Amino acid sequence: MPAESVLGLQWGDEGKGKIVDLLAQKADYVVRYHGGNNAGHTVVVGSKKHFFHLIPCGIFHKNTKALISNGVIIDLEVLVREMDILLKEKLNLKNKLFISPRCHLILPYHKNLDAAYENARGRNKLGTTKRGIGPAYSDKVSYNGLRVYDLADWNDFTEKFTFQAKIKNKILKTFGVKPVNISVELKKLKKLRSRIMPFVKDTFEMINDAAAKRKRILFEGAHGIMLDLDWSPYPFATGSNTVVGSVNTGSGLAYRQLGNVIGIVKAFTSRVGGGPLPTELHGRLADAIRERGGEYGTTTGRARRIGWLDLEAVRFSCKINNVNELVITKLDILSGLLEIKVCTGYTLNGRKIHYSDCGYKELAKVKPVYKIFPGWIEDISGIRKFSKLPKECRDYLNFIGKFLGVKIKFVSVGAERNANVKF
Ligand code: GDP
Ligand code: IMO
Ligand code: MG
């Protein structure tokens, strides 16, 4: 099947950007199909780092077209900023980047509302990225959203935006927050609109034509399965469904057309923002892993929380997405540890409990059951063959593959595109 999807199987930041860029070398199309610029995906080519929030990774490859399909919500300012960075790098976006008219817009009042709700929640705040994700998706669901489609008719857009902004300003007022200046924002939006309109095209037809011609399509998942709107310990979620079903709803490709589902698993765990994290580490060990791994948010710069690999949670991710290939990332970061723990299950009040049985209150209380592996001292970042990895490292990988019942495609041992260990 020439259509494949890449999903993060944990709480985000698994290294999806690197892997999508790598796999996109052979892809005709790479598609972002859900989420917004709460995503931060990093691609390292040689000594150069590139950060993507909305534009699909893999756009650098000569023959790969980059599509933002209908499930994505777009902050025009962020998109245009990202386009400008690529244009500065002399990348011609014409006939390369395509944006669905069905994409909903993240508008200025959504960002203000996100921040206002977070501030009002006080000690119960969720730790959102404050990019307006929840409010923009809730407007979509309540038929109050504005889409890229609406930008085509400026008078109509002005009327709809003004109507929505007036209502949102009333809500912002109740929070004691400054309202948005409607005419100033409209001026900005008009300018941004002129930049993106040349790239607007029906991505549904493009994707389905490509599938019919057996072109290679790579779907770039954002966030992580543990942040899925339905399957997370709600409300510690993001605004979109991160499970593989979103490929269908967010791009229009029928699910039976999808082949490999490739799950990305970081060799340990990280999480940004609030919410339970059963295997969380604190103190010097967490700090050391964070520093070595550069575990700071690509979008917000926040320090990521760190934990041991949680295979109880990842097993759930494999099941719900029918993952058939794994890529393990950041294994190099674990070099030098005396021992490495892996969570193989949870107990609550002395009884076995599964990830899927837990609401956020239970998940905050579960006790991880650990299997302990001896560590390895060697720097493995220069190794390219599985047989050359230290025995302890191979044992760790073999256990993960066996426990999850999914074959490991390859292992990433560095941020750079080519730092990979083949099996
Ligand atoms: P994403 O959101 O899943 O695309 O991940 P992020 O880009 O937010 O965070 C992953 C970070 O780890 C980035 O800084 C990557 O450059 C880096 N990275 C990815 N894979 C590896 C790896 O195997 N080893 C190391 N050391 N860094 C990696
Ligand atoms: P990538 O694609 C890590 C988290 C936020 C917060 C929660 C809700 O880079 O892996 P939101 O702004 O989405 O309403 O915040 O979701 N979150 C992510 N954490 N990586 C991401 O994306 C994330 N996208 C959302 O930190 O806890
Ligand atoms: Mg990220």
The per-residue pLDDT for range 354-394, each reduced to its tens digit, is: 999 999 999 999 999 999 999 999 999 999 999 999 999 99
User: Looking at residue 181, which CATH number applies to its domain?
Assistant: 1.10.300.10
The per-residue pLDDT for range 90-122, each reduced to its tens digit, is: 999 999 999 999 999 999 999 999 999 999 999
In 76-174, at which residue ranges do the beta strands (DSSP E only) sit? 97-99, 104-105
Same domain for 32 and 57, yes or no, is yes
| Protein residues with CB under 6 Å of any ligand 1 atom | 8, 12-18, 40-42, 44, 294, 298, 329-330, 332-333, 412-415
Same domain for 256 and 271, yes or no, is no
* Six token digits for residue 62: 């000569």
User: Looking at residue 48, which CATH number applies to its domain?
Assistant: 3.40.440.10
Q: Containing domain of residue 169, as a range? A: 104-196
What's the CA-to-centroid distance between 51 and ligand 3, angstroms? 9
What's the CA-to-centroid distance between 42 and ligand 3, angstroms? 7
Q: Best substitution site from 223, 229, 329 to test ligand 2's pocket, by max atoms within 8 Å of Cβ?
A: 223
Q: What's the pLDDT score for residue 298? A: 84
Q: Which atom in ligand 2 lies closest to the alpha carbon of residue 12?
A: 10
- With a cut of 50, list the residues of the chain below it in pLDDT: none
Dihedral angle over CA of 181, 131, 286, 411, nearest 10: -150
Q: Name the helix (H) or strand (E) containing 343.
A: strand 339-348
Using the 3D structure, point to which of 171, 196, 221 is the last residue of a domain: 196
Supply the angle between the helices 182-196 and 76-88 in degrees, to the nearest 10.
Answer: 40
Are the C-beta atoms of residues 388 and 423 closer than 8 Å to each other? no
Same domain for 405 and 275, yes or no, is yes
Same domain for 250 and 269, yes or no, is no
Same domain for 364 and 397, yes or no, is yes
Same domain for 189 and 163, yes or no, is yes
What's the CA-to-centroid distance between 212 and ligand 2, angstroms? 34
Same domain for 90 and 209, yes or no, is yes
Q: Note the ligand closest to the C-alpha atom of 17.
A: 1
Using the 3D structure, point to which of 196, 219, 241 is the last residue of a domain: 196
**256: how many CB neighbours lie within 10 A of its CB?**
8
Q: Best substitution site from 124, 129, 138 to test ligand 2's pocket, by max atoms within 8 Å of Cβ?
A: 129
Q: What's the pLDDT score for residue 300? A: 87
Q: What is the pTM of this model?
A: 0.98
Catalytic residue numbers read 13, 41
| Protein residues with CB under 6 Å of any ligand 2 atom | 8, 12-13, 38-41, 126-129, 131, 133-134, 222-224, 227, 238-239, 272-273, 298
Q: Which residues are within 8 A (CB) of 396 and not within 5 positions of it... i.e. 6 or more apart?
A: 267, 331, 334, 340, 342, 373
Burial of 361: CB neighbours in 10 Å, binned 0-12, 13-18, 19+: exposed
User: Looking at residue 307, which CATH number applies to its domain?
Assistant: 3.90.170.10
> CA-to-CA distance for 393 and 195, rounded, in angstroms?
49
Same domain for 31 and 166, yes or no, is no
Q: What is the gyration radius of the CA atoms in the chain, in angstroms?
A: 21
Q: What's the pLDDT score for residue 1? A: 66
Same domain for 312 and 369, yes or no, is yes
Structural domain count of the chain: 3
Same domain for 380 and 307, yes or no, is yes
Are the C-beta atoms of residues 331 and 18 closer than 8 Å to each other? no
Same domain for 286 and 304, yes or no, is yes
What's the CA-to-centroid distance between 293 and ligand 1, angstroms? 8
Using the 3D structure, point to which of 154, 178, 196 is the last residue of a domain: 196
Same domain for 241 and 374, yes or no, is no
